[in-house]
Amino acid sequence: MFNTSSNIERNIELSFPIEKVKQDIERTVKIGAYAVHSKNEILNTYRIGKITGLESIIMNITLKSLDAEKTNIHIVVTEKVRNQGHQSIVEKMIDAFLERLSKALTGAADEDLKTVSAGNKGCAVTILILLGIGLAATASAAILIN
């Protein structure tokens, strides 16, 4: 399963009109330090990037109006998943975006959008742990070779 490109997805029905979702995506991007790589107003699509620690992702987001008060948001991140830890980091990054968007949709202050819950933090710590394990394995291999 690992080392092949995988789609990590979220497909959620929101109880908000599409125009509000668009406005709050823009707000979330601005305050949450995301980058809009592209957007198409007619097709209601976005390519939004985020760098956290040593990891970066590009989220392909498609909005679909279900009715005047409901919108479907579909997020796809296509990643070459290296291991279970990497997949977990990508999933936390998607969840952090959705948490920030949820706060924006429910009227949270800009300051509240800058932080996420403990469950969606820890990407940098996880990366450092994985990096440490990799360095230790490399050092062990070098000792065995010599």
Q: Which residue has the tokens 């987001």?
A: 61
Q: How confident is the model at residue 118 (pLDDT cuts 50, 70, 90)?
A: low
Tokens representing 83 are 């291991």
Q: Beta strand 70-80 with 5-14: parallel, antiparallel or unpaired?
A: antiparallel
Query: Cβ(76)–Cβ(69) under 8 Å?
Result: no
Q: What is the structure's pLDDT at 124?
A: 45
3-state secondary structure (DSSP) of residue 129? helix
| 32/23 Cα distance (integer angstroms) | 14
Fold annotation for 5-145:
TATA-Binding Protein (3.30.310)
CA 39 and chain centroid, separation: 17
| 62/25 Cα distance (integer angstroms) | 11
Q: Which residue has the tokens 């990096």?
A: 131
Dump pLDDT digits (tens) for 65-100: 999 999 999 999 988 877 777 888 899 999 999 999
Please tell me what DSSP assigns to residue 61: E
